[in-house]
């Protein structure tokens, strides 16, 4: 809406300390910050404001203390029904609503996205959902080489399109990411069920780029499909043993960290936790502890 000559700084999903990558000698610049927490970037923000830069910030993570400065314009809202694109949409008065809907789908706010999409035809809604979910998928990986395309490249490609439906149809970069996502989904669907009980399911799959990129999304998806069950995904490592990803039942989000902490490399939260390395010889022990940890009432 406000085209400017700009340098783009971006990262993978968990690379969120991005403001520190703005050269510290920057003065009098206009900086737009999207979808990263102000709390984790507080020191860099303070320095840039002291350097006389104007900063405009849109975000939905915990912000911490917001500095008082005439140079800072903050659009912050941590309520679970918004994402950064919906905050930008609010600021723009809905002038680019279709892109906002696509992005809301990408941030797993499909209910909000569906509400905003009321009145669109089903194939249009599907195209917006594919755009959001595919671009969100492209942010995941353990290292940069795992990503199908660097997000800045995606930005420049996408920016050339006015309408998302055109982008969905014509962008070859998008098509490449979309087909890789489908391949990864195929690889993860081949996961083998090694335990199923009244309290949950444990799956095993092989280590590889598909697991590195998609495991987080996959674990959330299977948890949603069977919300009464706990889920464990064992990724078989080439070097031996497993890396474990745990989700408590969505209907009873407790037990995951309690189970993970019974192993030396475990950690996490009550609803979602993990074990960095589970030796092959501890597999059966893990399954018996899994049954214990999620046996109701957990
Ligand atoms: Mn977000």
Q: Taking the domains of the chain in order of start, what are their residue ranges?
A: 19-181, 190-294
- Residue 100 main-chain phi, psi, to 5 deg: -65, -40
**Residue 23 burial class via C-beta count within 10 angstroms: exposed 0-12, middle 13-18, buried 19 and up:** exposed
35 Cα: distance to centroid of ligand 1 (angstroms):
5
58 Cα: distance to centroid of ligand 1 (angstroms):
10
DSSP 8-state symbol, 144? G
Distant-in-sequence contacts of 166-170, Cβ < 8 A, 24+ apart: 167/131, 168/127, 168/130, 168/131
Helix, strand, or coil here: 50?
Answer: helix
85 Cα: distance to centroid of ligand 1 (angstroms):
8
83 Cα: distance to centroid of ligand 1 (angstroms):
5
pLDDT for position 253: 87
284 Cα: distance to centroid of ligand 1 (angstroms):
38
User: Which residue matches tokens 């002038």?
Assistant: 95
pLDDT for position 174: 98
- Residue 59 main-chain phi, psi, to 5 deg: -165, 155
193 Cα: distance to centroid of ligand 1 (angstroms):
32
46 Cα: distance to centroid of ligand 1 (angstroms):
22
Nearby residues of 253 by Cβ (< 8 Å), 6 or more positions away:
270, 271
Q: What is the CATH number of domain 190-294?
A: 3.10.310.30
63 Cα: distance to centroid of ligand 1 (angstroms):
13
Digits of tens for pLDDT over the chain (298 positions)?
Answer: 888 889 999 999 889 999 999 998 999 999 999 999 999 999 999 999 999 999 999 999 889 999 999 999 999 999 888 999 999 999 999 999 999 999 999 988 889 999 999 999 999 999 999 999 999 999 998 889 999 999 999 999 999 999 999 999 999 999 999 999 999 999 988 899 999 999 999 999 999 999 988 888 888 889 889 999 999 999 999 999 999 999 999 898 899 999 999 999 999 888 889 999 999 999 999 999 999 999 977 6
164 Cα: distance to centroid of ligand 1 (angstroms):
19
**Residue 255: Cβ within 10 Å count:** 25
Task: Quote the CA–CA distance of 261 and 64 in Å, as a whole number.
Answer: 29
pLDDT for position 296: 75
199 Cα: distance to centroid of ligand 1 (angstroms):
31
37 Cα: distance to centroid of ligand 1 (angstroms):
9
Task: Quote the CA–CA distance of 268 and 288 in Å, as a whole number.
Answer: 20
Nearby residues of 267 by Cβ (< 8 Å), 6 or more positions away:
257, 260, 261, 273, 274
Q: Give the neighbor-by-neighbor strand order of the sheet with 230-236.
A: 192-196, 200-206, 230-236, 242-247, 272-278, 266-268
- Residue 244 main-chain phi, psi, to 5 deg: -115, 135
Using left for φ > 0, alpha for ψ between -120 and 50, and beta otherwise, residue 21 falls in alpha
285 Cα: distance to centroid of ligand 1 (angstroms):
37
216 Cα: distance to centroid of ligand 1 (angstroms):
15
Task: Quote the CA–CA distance of 60 and 74 in Å, as a whole number.
Answer: 11
């Amino acid at each position: 809406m406000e085209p400017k000559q700009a340098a783009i700084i971006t990262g993978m999903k968990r690379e969120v300390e991005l403001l520190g990558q703005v050269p510290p000698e920057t003065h009098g610049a206009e900086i737009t910050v999207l979808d990263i927490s102000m709390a984790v970037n507080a020191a860099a923000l303070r320095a840039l404001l002291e350097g006389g830069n104007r900063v405009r910030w849109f975000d939905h993570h915990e912000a911490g203390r917001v500095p008082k400065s005439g140079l800072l314009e903050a659009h912050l809202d941590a309520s679970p029904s918004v994402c950064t694109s919906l905050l930008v949409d609010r600021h723009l008065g809905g002038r680019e609503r279709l892109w906002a809907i696509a992005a809301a789908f990408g941030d797993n706010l499909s209910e909000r996205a569906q509400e905003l999409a009321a009145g669109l035809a089903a194939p249009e809604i599907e195209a917006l959902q594919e755009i959001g979910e595919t671009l969100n998928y492209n942010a995941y990986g353990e290292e940069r080489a795992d990503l199908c395309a660097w997000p800045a490249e995606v930005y420049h490609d996408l920016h050339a399109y006015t309408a998302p439906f055109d982008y969905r149809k014509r962008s070859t970069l998008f098509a490449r990411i979309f087909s890789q996502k489908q391949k990864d989904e195929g690889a993860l669907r081949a996961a083998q069920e090694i335990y199923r009980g009244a309290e949950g399911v444990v799956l095993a799959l092989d280590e590889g780029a598909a697991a590195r990129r998609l495991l987080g999304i996959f674990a959330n998806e299977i948890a949603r499909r069977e919300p009464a069950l706990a889920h464990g995904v064992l990724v078989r490592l080439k070097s031996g043993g497993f890396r474990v990803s745990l989700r408590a039942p969505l209907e009873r989000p407790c037990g995951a960290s309690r189970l993970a902490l019974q192993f030396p490399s475990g950690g996490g939260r009550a609803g979602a936790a993990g074990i960095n390395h589970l030796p092959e010889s501890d597999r059966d022990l893990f399954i018996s502890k899994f049954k214990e940890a999620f046996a109701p009432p957990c």
